[in-house]
Amino acid sequence: MLPGGGGAKIGLGGLLVLMVLGAVFNRDLVTPVLESGRAPASESGAPVTQTPAEKEMVEFVSFVLDDAQATWTKLLGQSNVPYRRAKLVLFREAVDSACGMAGSATGPFYCPADEKAYIDLSFFSELRERFGAPGDFAQAYVLAHEIGHHVQNVLGIERKFRALQQRNPGSAKALSVRMELQADCFAGLWGNATAQRGILEKGDVEEGLDAAAAIGDDRLQRNAGRRVSPESFTHGSSAQRVEWFRKGLESGSIQACDTFAGAGGGSL
């Protein structure tokens, strides 16, 4: 149980109270940076004024970020792999990253060049209202997925993946799907760790699975009025995303997240 939990199970939403009381953050925390669309990441100065809703969201993702990274520090430490902490940039409208400019339409992304995850706060509202995936754990899944990409970078999978794409340009999208599904599985590993500590409440897992399904390539294409085209997938179908997120949730094993087995060149 978390400090201050009193032995009772509490959901991720309830953890906000603990954060305010300082019962959770008893160690160093990489605080997310909130930036406006007019202030690129490389040029940001004074903090951007936050709305009450944004302040609450920043507090929430701060917990998820810290907890996910503490989990990965422990998991990789078991294999004697040092974990490097990622940073999180929350932005409005547009942001300038080491991977180039990105706007709200880009969606959440991870940039290996600066080891930062970028999320436009409006995406969480879109996840709830447009994609029909409400709930705290749905939002947590999104961030855990991006941290999963950071773990791929730490483990050297990102570098091998890019090299494999260059050697097999015709398979670039299929390889991208495998990369994204592995990040889903890694997000599930964090979910497994939270379950082991008894901080999930009824419905949290379903929220995460619903979020994974909501942003599958096939569902996105149908919702846009387009023909489902598997050859154009870059992230995987709803069924695939749910399958690999669930695999991480249920296994708790990094080895179970090998989405590259049989991809040509063996596992990454």
Q: For residue range 191-217, what is the model confidence (pLDDT) as tens digits?
A: 999 999 988 777 887 888 888 888 788
Q: How confident is the model at residue 50 (pLDDT cuts 50, 70, 90)?
A: low
Three-state SS at 54: helix
Three-state SS at 33: strand
22 in a domain, yes or no? Answer: no
Residue type, 6: G
DSSP state at residue 107: -
What is the pLDDT averaged over residues 3-16? Answer: 35
7 in a domain, yes or no? Answer: no
263 in a domain, yes or no? Answer: no
What is the pLDDT averaged over residues 150-164? Answer: 95
pTM (predicted TM-score): 0.80
At residue 167, the pLDDT reads 93
Residues 51-72 as b/e (b if ≥16 CB within 10 A, e otherwise) read: eeeeeebbbbbbbbbbbbbbbb
54 in a domain, yes or no? Answer: yes
Alpha carbons within 13 angstroms on the beta-carbon side of residue 6 total 5
15 in a domain, yes or no? Answer: no
Domain holding 124, by residue range, is: 29-257
Q: DSSP for 154-198, please give it.
A: HTTHHHHHHHHHHH-GGGHHHHHHHHHHHHHHHHHHHHHHHHHTT
134 in a domain, yes or no? Answer: yes
9 in a domain, yes or no? Answer: no
Is the pLDDT confidence value at 125 over 90?
A: no
163 in a domain, yes or no? Answer: yes
Q: Which of 139, 131, 128, 121 is closest to 11 using CA atoms?
A: 139
> Per the structure, how many domains does the chain have?
1
